[in-house]
Amino acid sequence: MEFNSNSAFMYVVVGVVIAFVLLQSVVFFIKAWRRGKELGMDMQALKKTVGSSALFTVAPAFAILLGVIALSNALGFPLPWLRLSVIGSLTYEATAAAAAANAVGTSLAERITDPKIFAVIAWVMALGIVPGLVLVPVFGKKIEKGISNIKSKDSKWGKIFLSGLFLGMISAFLGLVFANVHKGLTGWIPVFVMFASAVLMLLCGFVQKIFKVKWIEDYALPISLLGGMALSIPITNLVMSLVG
């Protein structure tokens, strides 16, 4: 069989897996929705969760699509499509593919036409993400029990403990924003964008309080994310013109 990374066969195989994962999302959605109803939760608020999550996802999803395009030069569309819709994130998938190509003495600079090399890359990308899928079913329940133990012993501390966990993650990614500062003014661009987006978030809060526009608050994160991304364009242009 003549190998082609964009063959109908590849699309079918990948399509089946993506459909399976889509089905999983739908099943979990329905289960949680029903549970919310049973618990007598405010269904209007849950609808807002759906709306704001969907809007928030749009920009990152297009960024992921860019990742598919970037990897498609070497690997065709189906494999990157699978790996970036399911499990992966661009940093991981691109690195894994490059490392695998490198291991068999080739690179991602050109299209992979040898099915053996393609298979090596597909295996390495698949095996690299095994831990999460194995460890969640093994330890998920134990981790949860640990957290609920902390909470049942001292509910106030339990809440603070979780806040500490979130803030640990958020501060690691906020720190990351400063990683390019050593490059000079252009390295400050992400820092400026971060502040721009933070200011937009604060503005959303003010508008909501002063003009009593409730929906602004629900959509504050997607608005600030998109606004920050949009502002990054003039910010970058301004910095570039200053640097010359």
Partner 1 sequence: MKQELSYRDSVHKMGRVWILSALAMLLAVPAAICIYYNAWPPVAGILKGLLSIVPIFWTVGVIEVFTYVPMLGTGGSYLGFVTGNLANLKVPCALNSMDRAGVQPGTEEGEVVSTIAIATSSIVTTLIIALGVLLLSQIAPVLESPALQPAFENILPALFGALGVVFVSKDWKIAIAPLVVMITLFLLVPSLAGAVGILVPVGALIAIGVARILYKKNLL
Interface of this chain with partner 1, residues 57 to 86, rule: CB under 8 A:
57-66, 68-69, 77, 79, 81-82, 84-86
Nearer to partner 1, 19 or 110 (CB): 19
Closest approach, Cβ 72 to partner 1, in A, equals: 8
Q: Is 170 in the site for partner 1 (CB under 8 A)?
A: yes
Q: Write down the residue that tokens 């964008």 correspond to.
A: 193
The number of CA neighbours under 13 Å toward the Cβ of 241 is 5
Within 8 A by CB and 6+ apart from 17, the residues are: 82, 86
Q: Least separation, in Å, of the C-beta of 132 and partner 1?
A: 4
Q: From CA 6, how far away is CA 79, in angstroms rounded?
A: 9
Give residues 86-105 in contact with partner 1 (rule: CB under 8 A): 86-89, 91-92, 95-96, 99-104
Given 109, 153, 182, 211, the residue binding partner 1 (CB under 8 A): 182
Closest by alpha carbon to 191, among 139, 151, 243, 228? Answer: 228
Identify the residue among 111, 207, 208, 232 touching partner 1 (CB under 8 A). Answer: 232
Q: Under a CB-based contact definition with an 8 Å cutoff, are residues 204 and 225 in contact?
A: no
Residues 6+ apart with CB under 8 A from 56: 221, 222, 225
* Under rule CB under 8 A, residue 13 binds partner 1: yes
Q: Contact with partner 1 (CB under 8 A): which of 8, 110, 113, 144?
A: 144
Residues 18-57 that bind partner 1 (CB under 8 A): 18, 20-22, 24-29, 31-33, 35-36, 39, 41, 45-46, 48-50, 52-54, 56-57
Among 113, 171, 206, 215, binds partner 1 (CB under 8 A): 171
224 lines the binding site for partner 1 (CB under 8 A): yes
d(Cα 137, Cα 146) in Å, to the nearest integer? 15
Q: Is 213 in the site for partner 1 (CB under 8 A)?
A: no
Residues with Cβ within 8 Å of residue 203, at least 6 apart in sequence: none
Please identify which residue in 73, 110, 137, 185 interacts with partner 1, judged by CB under 8 A: 137
Q: Under the criterion CB under 8 A, does residue 109 sit at the interface with partner 1?
A: no
Burial class (CB in 10 A: 0-12, 13-18, 19+), 18: middle
How many residues line the site for partner 1 (CB under 8 A)?
Answer: 152
